[in-house]
A and B are shown apart, each in its own frame.
Chain A
Amino acid sequence: MNARINSAGIGRPQSLDPAELAEIHSVDAVAPLQKSRPLLSEEEEAISLPAMELPVDPLQLALKQFLGPALTSDNPVWKGDPVPSMRGLQRMMVEHSLGLAEGPARTPMMAALRHVEMAVQMRLRWLQMKRSETESTIVEGEAQDAPEKNR
């Protein structure tokens, strides 16, 4: 199930073959390339809307300063397709649990495992939403281009 979602390349910018561009009648059918703010060039920054104002909690700020961006907002777990590495973490947890005595000794690890499983389930739902979004746009575009076919 995971492999199928990976191969769809969700979360990565879509590369377009120039030959295919000729076939596209409306420009807005092309999905815009999403970039996070630090990656924008100066011109792009100048024409962008101001950054969304989120309330900044001093605790969140202290956390991020201590951990650094690589572990927090740049962490692959919050970008792209993190499911394989989460499955890897689960495998490590299960292997560790099997080394412990049966019963209460395994309880904390099982609780942790459940949280990772929940995270995996939520990512899979989110990937499905992204997938449906791209697929449904294509269908809409086709319907607009060829309305006479439907009649």
Chain B
Amino acid sequence: MRPKRTADGMQPELLTALGLVWGHLNAYQYEAAFELSAGCLQLWPEHEKLRLMHDLAAAEVLEPVDHQRLRAMRRTDNAAWVDLVLRRAQYQLHNRVQGELTGEPQ
């Protein structure tokens, strides 16, 4: 069965998936965004916007983010977004290190 496609050639299911993930991110529901986008990435592993939304959610829920891959996929049209994800990941990492330092005094 061939999937129906919308006017811009996108599968309606993919459009739905992207809209749902965006909705979670926009409502600060990072845990839900992370889990939902992880599942959707199994269906569309090559989709860049889905991947980048997943990366932001991962940074927010303290899951590992692949900095090398992010830097490699950085282009002018997605630079702002990639930088944002890298900044968030850096910030969360910093917080975690700070927490470990104060939690375990030498």
Contacts and interface: CB of A to CB of B under 8 A. Distances in A.
A82 B78 contact: no
A89 interface: yes
B42 A108 contact: yes
Nearest to A76: B15
Contacts, number: 94
A72 B80 contact: no
**DSSP class of A's interface residues: helix, strand, loop or mixed?**
helix
B19 A71 contact: yes
Interface string B8-20: 1000110111111
Interface residues of B, number: 31
Contacts of B26: 60, 63, 72
Contacts of B19: 71-72, 75-78, 82
Interface residues of A, number: 31
From B3, B13, B49, name the one whose CB has the most chain A CB atoms within 10 angstroms.
Answer: B13
A12 interface: no
Contact of A112 (B22, B35, B49): B35
From B22, B43, B80, name the one whose CB has the most chain A CB atoms within 10 angstroms.
Answer: B22
A59 interface: yes
